[in-house]
Amino acid sequence: MKSLPYFCRGEVIRGFGRGSKELGIPTANFPDSVVDNLPADISTGIYYGWACVGNGDVHKMVMSIGWNPYYKNTKKSMETHVIHTFKEDFYGDTLSVVMVGYIRPERSFDSLEALIAAINNDIEEAKTKLELPEHRKLRDDNFFTGTPNGSSALPPTTTSVSQTIMNGH
Ligand code: ADP
Ligand code: RBF
Ligand code: MG
């Protein structure tokens, strides 16, 4: 996938509320503007990378892109589970992510338990892969820490930053 690493950011919006309640694995959902901006060669499936909420710390993440075949969603979603325990929800905040690698395609499962087990495997794989030096260095990218001239101002929250701009990283 030539578009990886792929940098984007956007506002955290509400989904169906299933992640926390049914799976015990909350996922911060991006708006359509971010989903629709994905390059054509970023296929649906499960990715790992780095994420930060607002100006906060950078954490490991796993992301699911697609239609959640287990739930048969009709709308394509892009949802990030940040591998960190937050004190409270962060709806409306800006989530910045860099997708670093691909894990697997989305699939359906015979039970909720099987879906949860698969996601927990993805989390373990992400934790290990992100320790590789070539992946770890992306955590310290200017994208998360501010612009090269030292300003830490974030771009507007409702639109994603286009890959054309972010490719400079
Ligand atoms: P929704 O369907 O609205 O996305 P979820 O049950 O998936 O609901 O919960 C997602 C929300 O939980 C996020 O928008 C965020 O505000 C909050 N949250 C708390 N901890 C995390 C985390 N570690 N990763 C992602 N979201 C989290
Ligand atoms: N949903 C699926 O239907 N099939 C999957 O294979 C699948 N894999 C996921 C992997 C990860 C790492 C995450 C965070 C989510 C995954 N989901 C998958 C999405 C899950 O169904 C969704 O997060 C919840 O429905 C809450 O929106
Ligand atoms: Mg969610």
Find the mean pLDDT for residues 87-104.
98
Span from the CA of 64 to the centroid of ligand 2 (angstroms): 6
pLDDT given for residue 155 in this prediction:
55
Whether 131 is catalytic is no
Q: Which of 11, 22, 79, 134 is catalytic?
A: 79
Find the radius of gyration of the CA atoms of the chain: 15
pLDDT given for residue 118 in this prediction:
98
pLDDT given for residue 19 in this prediction:
83
Q: Domain map of the chain by residue range?
A: 6-167
Q: Is the pLDDT of residue 29 over 60?
A: yes
In one-letter notation, the amino acid at residue 54 is G
Reported as a pLDDT band with limits 50, 70 and 90, residue 148 is low
- Whether CATH 2.40.30.30 fits 6-167: yes
